[in-house]
């Protein structure tokens, strides 16, 4: 049997991690992996997470299963965090998932079950796991224009022109905030136009919100998701707690399905539980319990929000420092987009050849499409990166 397996393409980011590890240079900079790092290069455990885990360890009396959908308290807490009061709670079905990736996978499984002929539309570019999972599931897929490599901003005219081709029942995957890999986001007005177009076409939105709190703040980052969810009878939302709670290895995510009414919600909830059973049965609970403990305790929540805000502001400071340093070195404002982008990532909009030049000559590691992790920088490495970008001719 195993002799019939074929070699698969290597994961580009994991290959980048290995190459960085083997590089002997002391001044190398890792901007590839999408993990938050503090000024010391560490990914810390947040204070509220540590305290929540301490309480759970002291109080938990069982490790029995919580249910196919996960702990209902987790679903309620996450629904409140992401959607607030934008959608009536009785319209929302939800299941815990192994990370945001698990939520995306279950969303696509649901789409394949409910609308097997639907085409899933993805931004070009998007997170590589999106098209990878869709192709693996054998689903129809199309792309819509999103990023302008010249301006390093959203190509909104191109986006609207492409989305004008969607058919009734198609699914449009949108990033809730902090677009990965570009860092360029739609404005509320632009999203309103996208919503109107999708409503007129009879399309269904699928929102991937993995960085809530990393862009303009918890509520501000959720605005577009709430704007979309309140505008459609049906909407799917895949959310991740990896970044904003810093619990990457706990694999804590959730899939929410907004239904037209409570009867449709009941059917959706039953189907989501069924899909969990088929894929991994009961979802992991520890990370979900940590998140629930924090979100339902006023003291812990306040401390978490304060630390998350420190993290967000730290990334904004780094963005501005890099944009300012590049302006000083080039006497040009062509890198100002770095200060406008939001989240962990920005896409330089340069060629794979120049990205390779940055790695080979300057020890700067970023993904080949020029996506770089701003959180991989600190005040000392910003000038080094800026100098390398200019020297490489980016």
Evaluate whether residue 85 is within a structural domain. Answer: yes
Residue of 162, 184, 222, 243 marked catalytic: 243
One domain, residues 254 and 141: yes
pTM score, whole prediction: 0.95
pLDDT at 41: 85
Domain of residue 377: give its range.
11-45+311-389
What does the pLDDT read at residue 144?
Answer: 98
Instruction: Name the residue among 211, 224, 46 with its Cα closest to residue 127.
Output: 211
Check residue 9 and report its DSSP letter.
Answer: P
Cβ atoms of 87 and 232 within 8 Å: the answer is no
What is the spatial distance between Cα 119 and Cα 122, in angstroms, rounded to a whole number? 10
Decide if 185 contacts 227 (C-beta within 8 A). no
Active-site residue, selected from the candidate residues 30, 155, 208, 221:
208
23-71 pLDDT, tens digit per residue, is: 999 889 999 988 898 888 899 999 999 999 999 999 999 999 999 999 9
Catalytic residue among 52, 69, 118, 127: 127
> Is 366 inside a domain boundary?
yes
| All residues at 6 or more sequence positions from 117 whose CB lies less than 8 Å from its CB, including other chains | 140, 169
Same domain for 37 and 90? no
Residue 331: CB atoms within 10 A of its CB come to 6
Residue 2, domain member (yes or no): no
pLDDT higher than threshold 90 for residue 393: no
The structural domain count of the chain equals 2
What is residue 297's DSSP assignment? -
pLDDT, tens digit (0-9, with 9 covering 90-100), for 105-158: 999 999 999 999 999 999 999 999 999 999 999 999 999 999 999 999 999 999
DSSP one-letter code for 249: G
Of 299, 319, 339, the residue that ends a domain is 299
| CATH number assigned to the domain comprising residue 336 | 3.90.1150.10
Q: Are residues 41 and 54 in the same domain?
A: no
pLDDT level of residue 257 (50, 70, 90 thresholds): very high
In this prediction, residue 33 carries a pLDDT of: 83
- Note whether 129 and 101 are within 8 A (CB): yes
208 counts as catalytic: yes
Note whether 218 and 294 are same-domain residues.
Answer: yes
Query: Does 241 fall in a domain?
Result: yes
Q: Are 344 and 375 in contact (CB under 8 A)?
A: yes
Cα–Cα–Cα angle for 140, 93, 289, nearest 5°?
Answer: 110
pLDDT level of residue 11 (50, 70, 90 thresholds): confident
Residues 152 and 211 placed together within one structural domain of the fold: yes
To the nearest 10°, report the CA torsion of 295, 297, 298, 303.
Answer: -70
CA distances from 132 to 31, 116, 136, 138 (A): 22, 17, 6, 10
Query: pLDDT digit string (tens) for 275-301?
Result: 999 999 999 999 999 999 999 999 999
CATH number for the domain harbouring residue 293: 3.40.640.10
Instruction: Indicate if the pLDDT at residue 223 is higher than 90.
Output: yes
Whether residue 249 is predicted with pLDDT greater than 90 in this model: the reply is: yes
Reply yes or no on whether 127 is catalytic: yes
List 94, 210, 259, 392, catalytic entry: 210
Domain co-membership, 211 together with 94: yes
């Amino acid at each position: 049997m195993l002799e019939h397996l074929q070699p698969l393409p290597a994961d580009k980011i994991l290959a980048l991690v290995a190459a960085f590890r083997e590089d002997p240079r002391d001044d190398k900079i890792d901007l590839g992996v999408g993990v938050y790092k503090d000024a010391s290069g560490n990914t810390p455990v947040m204070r509220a997470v540590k305290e929540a885990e301490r309480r759970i360890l002291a109080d938990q009396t069982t490790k029995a299963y919580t249910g196919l959908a996960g702990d209902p308290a987790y679903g309620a807490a996450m629904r409140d965090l992401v959607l607030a009061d934008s959608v009536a709670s009785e319209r929302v079905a939800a299941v815990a998932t192994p990370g945001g990736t698990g939520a995306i996978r279950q969303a696509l499984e649901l789409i394949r079950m409910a609308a097997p002929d639907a085409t899933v539309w993805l931004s070009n570019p998007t997170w590589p796991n999106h098209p990878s999972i869709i192709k693996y599931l054998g689903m129809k897929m199309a792309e819509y224009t999103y990023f302008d490599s010249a301006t390093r901003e959203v190509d909104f005219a191109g986006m609207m022109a492409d989305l004008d081709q969607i058919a009734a029942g198609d699914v449009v995957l949108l990033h809730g905030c902090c677009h990965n890999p570009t860092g360029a986001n739609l404005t509320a007005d632009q999203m309103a136009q996208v919503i109107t177009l999708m409503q007129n076409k009879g399309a269904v939105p699928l929102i991937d919100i993995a960085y809530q709190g990393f862009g303009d703040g918890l509520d501000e980052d959720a605005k577009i998701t709430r704007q979309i969810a309140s505008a459609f009878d049906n909407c799917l939302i895949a959310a991740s707690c990896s970044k904003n709670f810093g619990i990457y290895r706990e694999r804590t995510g959730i899939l929410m399905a907004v239904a037209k009414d409570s009867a449709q919600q009941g059917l959706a909830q039953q189907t989501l539980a069924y899909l969990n059973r088929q894929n991994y049965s009961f979802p992991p609970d520890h990370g979900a319990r940590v998140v629930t403990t924090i979100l339902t305790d006023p003291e812990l929540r306040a401390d978490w929000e304060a630390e998350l805000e420190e993290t967000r502001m730290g990334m904004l400071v780094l963005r501005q420092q890099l944009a300012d340093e590049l302006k000083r070195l080039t006497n040009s404002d062509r890198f100002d987009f770095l200060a406008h982008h939001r989240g962990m990532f920005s896409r330089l909009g340069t060629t794979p050849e120049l990205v390779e030049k940055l790695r080979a000559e300057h020890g700067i590691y970023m993904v080949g499409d020029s996506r770089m992790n701003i959180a991989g920088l600190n005040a000392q490495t910003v000038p080094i990166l800026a100098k390398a970008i200019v020297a490489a001719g980016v």
